[in-house]
Amino acid sequence: MSLRHMWIVFRKEARDLARDRRTLVSSLLIPLIMYPVLFGLMSMGMDKLDRDIQQNITVALAPSSDTGEVRDFLQNRVFLGRESIRLVEINVDPVEAIKKGEARFVLEVAADFEEKIATHQPVAISILYDDSDTMAAGSVGIVNQAIAAYGQSLVVERLNELGISTDILQPVRIDYASIPDDQKSGNHMILMMLPMMMTIMIAVGGIPAATDLVAGEKERSTFEPLLTTKPGRMSLLFGKYLTVTLFSLVSVVAQFAGMTMGILVNPGYLSMNGSSPGLGGFSVPLGALVLVILITVALGMVFAGLQLAISTYSRSFKEAQTYLSFLIFVAMIPAYATMMMQPQDLQAVMFAVPVLNAIAALKMVLGGAISNTNLLIALFSSMIYVIITLVFSARLFRRENVLFRS
């Protein structure tokens, strides 16, 4: 293998891919546009859903409770001051009214509610709603809170009549004290999302390049003439391998840039409730930062080796695309399995498992619980997997029955 020949192949393939509009669109343009649009649409959808849940809560009465006294009781006492809740008329069965969207809730109030309130007895109020309806499930708490608040006001009124302090209602008081941590307090969403997205980005970032560099050349009938040139097969392999790795990492950078623009469009996406930016500051030691970057690059090299091997094995461009599409599951399964994990939940063995080691390393650094030993284990194991995938690709690249499959 000649380093000079490898560099020539790398430079030539990188230049050709940079001129390919399909590669540029899939690797650079789409990620830059996708996240701002996605986050913007998500923001609009979440805001609309929140407005629908919090406002225009329609409540109807069951036929047995649809009287002037009950309406006056609900409007002027239970729902007084709650403008988001309004009573509506229905002309069909309560279940049908809910299904048709005429009312979100149907209430049934005990007929003798006035007598029970006067004699200090509990009043039964039944709430009928569809818990599979997102808006109803989200706003049922608002209706319940209104009824509970009215009940609490009755209790306070009765205690005052008896000359009893309302402190009797709170025999135990709970005081909460949180340990402040400026670095961790706002990074819950990014701690969940960033490792998962990074892994999936790396898994798919080099697919367009890998598909074109071997399977695509086979289909265009330019691969056989390439093998007759001066560079040896290993020089060709490593030149193409470095090109796939480069475009994989460039795609990741482009996607992170797009995600950053998306966050700027909708900063509330990083918070659980969308009410604040929710992004705390990071303070990562230089050594740990360098290690996690190297681990991320190594993960890209592992996937580049797998992608090149699959492209080498494939007969055509379309066949390579089909096989390579399954690589996303290799990244998605561990990414989603560890999505909810916190840095303190990570186990040492995870830093030696492929793909999981990069996810665990990034989670640990983002969470501020840095262990250089675990980072070194992740880096060392990643380099072993890089070597394994390269050896596997090289073996396929030497086999005539694979290179010239028909």
Q: What is the pLDDT of residue 180?
A: 52
Mean pLDDT to the nearest integer, 290-306: 87
Indicate the pLDDT class of residue 405, thresholds 50, 70 and 90: low
Indicate the pLDDT class of residue 380, thresholds 50, 70 and 90: very high
Q: What is the pLDDT of residue 127?
A: 92
Q: What is the pLDDT of residue 279?
A: 44
Q: What is the pLDDT of residue 186?
A: 47
pLDDT, tens only, 19-32: 777 667 766 777 77
More confident of the two residues 133 and 406: 133
Instruction: Evaluate whether 27 touches 254 at the Cβ level (below 8 Å).
Output: yes
Q: What is the pLDDT of residue 383?
A: 93
Residue 395 φ/ψ region, left for φ over 0, alpha for ψ in the -120 to 50 degree band, beta for the rest: alpha
61 bridge partner residues: 107
SS3 347: coil
Q: What is the pLDDT of residue 187?
A: 57
SS3 119: coil
Rounded Cα–Cα distance for residues 151 and 278 (Å)? 36
Residue 373 tokens, joined = 């030993």
Q: What is the pLDDT of residue 33?
A: 76
- pLDDT above 70 covers a percentage of the chain that reads 88
Rounded Cα–Cα distance for residues 291 and 344 (Å)? 19
Rounded Cα–Cα distance for residues 264 and 139 (Å)? 30
DSSP state of 270: G
Q: Looking at the structure, give the CATH architecture of the domain made up of residues 52-165.
A: 3-Layer(aba) Sandwich (3.40)
Domain boundaries, the chain: 3-44+184-403, 52-165
Q: What is the pLDDT of residue 169?
A: 77
Q: Is the pLDDT of residue 326 over 50?
A: yes
Give which of 97, 108, 109, 102 is closest to 58, Cα–Cα: 102
Q: Is the pLDDT of residue 51 over 50?
A: yes
- pLDDT above 90 covers a percentage of the chain that reads 8
pLDDT, tens only, 66-113: 888 999 999 889 898 888 888 888 887 888 888 888 899 999 998 888
pLDDT, tens only, 145-166: 999 999 989 888 888 888 888 8
- b/e per residue, 324-337, with b = 16+ CB within 10 A? beebeebbeebbee
The whole-chain average pLDDT of the chain stands at: 81
DSSP state of 123: P
Rounded Cα–Cα distance for residues 100 and 386 (Å)? 58
More confident of the two residues 49 and 379: 379
Q: What is the pLDDT of residue 277?
A: 42
Instruction: Evaluate whether 10 touches 95 at the Cβ level (below 8 Å).
Output: no
User: Under 8 Å CB-to-CB from 208, ≥6 apart: which residues?
Assistant: 22, 23, 26, 27, 247
- Give, rounded to a whole angstrom, the gap between the first and last alpha carbons of the chain: 28
Class of residue 2 by CB neighbours under 10 A (exposed 0-12, middle 13-18, buried 19+): middle
59 bridge partner residues: 87, 105
More confident of the two residues 96 and 44: 96
Q: What is the pLDDT of residue 388?
A: 93
127 bridge partner residues: 107
